Amino acid sequence: MSEPAPEADGRVRTVAVPTGIGEALIELADQRLSAPSGHGKYFLIHGASGSSRTWDRIVSHPFARRGAAIIACIDLPGWGATSAVLPAGATLADMRDAVIACLDVLDERTGSNDPWHLVGHSMGGLLALEVAASVPDRIRGVTAVSPSASGVIASVSHPWRTLTGGRHGGGLPALVLLAGGLRPFSRLERFPPGLVRFAIRIGLMRLLVSPLFRHPRRIPFETVRQLGFEMRPRSFRAATESIVGYDIGRWRRIESPLTTIEGDRDVFVGEQDAEGVAVVLPATHRVVIADCGHFPHVEHATTVAGLIWRPVPSP
């Protein structure tokens, strides 16, 4: 990460964790291992087109210093800086188990058995909720940023119905088109670096990532560059296929508070997603950010940082 929150000794550790689907990498910052009550442990999970660097502007925000004792950001196997090749047929349960394996290692490394606050973006939001449903006693809270839920699951489960019915039918055509556009490249772990550099140089990369943002021209160049180099077509396809037919009713097992954050102009998460979460977890605190796309933590970093790094009440 570019400006990660420092540990108590001023350093950030990269922790490699073996999992059933390959090695995961964690950027771990121990800020205050003896933090006062209300400051907790945070584990941040990227989406299908990101990495631990997705959270650069959040973990480097001054609010992080006041709100967290331990911050950990993951590169899931098959994403980011990992050398892992996501196995064919990898499931959401496999990814969930990889996250839980990381929590096990971090608890041992930090010497803390306190519960975690999970933060996830897009598919990472769905994954955070699945983890919270699987090990509810280990989770203190969940913040899901643009989380994939009912609308996303229906769209990837029934792509043709989504394309013919459109967004007015509750589907997400933009998501189906993105997944379809990447399908011819789904054998690739990464796009060739030379091709990415060329696309960045001629301005094509900013055009390609523009659907992710409400105001793509305002997005920093480094963010556009990062998205280009970090796109993993094979892992993206595996992620979308892993949630086909997923039952969000599992989330009724969640015992911790949930906050969802979404942009009002997001074409990859729709109203049906928010409605699905509200039906399953009616106590959800929903925040909708105006004039914002699929990456609220990039377009409105201070607002999102303020929501994430608030002290968590003691259980």
The alpha carbon of 292 is separated from its chain's Cα centroid by a whole number of angstroms, namely 17
Residue 63 CB-density burial (10 A; 0-12 exposed, 13-18 middle, 19+ buried):
middle
Fold of 13-150+247-308: Rossmann fold (3.40.50)
Q: What is the pLDDT of residue 31?
A: 57
Q: What is the pLDDT of residues 258-293, one digit of tens each?
A: 999 999 999 999 888 999 999 999 999 999 999 999
State mean pLDDT over 50-76: 88
Is 171 a residue whose pLDDT tops 80? no
Closest CA to 268 of 47, 35, 44, 45: 47
Where residue 167 falls among pLDDT bands split at 50, 70, 90?
low
Q: What is the pLDDT of residues 27-53, one digit of tens each?
A: 987 655 444 444 589 999 999 988 999
State mean pLDDT over 183-204: 89
Rounded to two decimals, the pTM is: 0.90
State mean pLDDT over 73-85: 92
Q: What is the pLDDT of residues 115-132, one digit of tens each?
A: 999 999 999 999 999 999
In sign, the C-alpha dihedral spanning 40, 46, 47, 53 is positive
d(CA 139, CA 116): 5
Q: What is the pLDDT of residues 81-111, one digit of tens each?
A: 998 888 878 999 999 999 999 999 999 988 8
Closest CA to 156 of 273, 310, 263: 273
Q: Is 82 helix (H, G, I), strand (E, B) or coil?
A: coil
Q: What is the pLDDT of residue 25?
A: 96
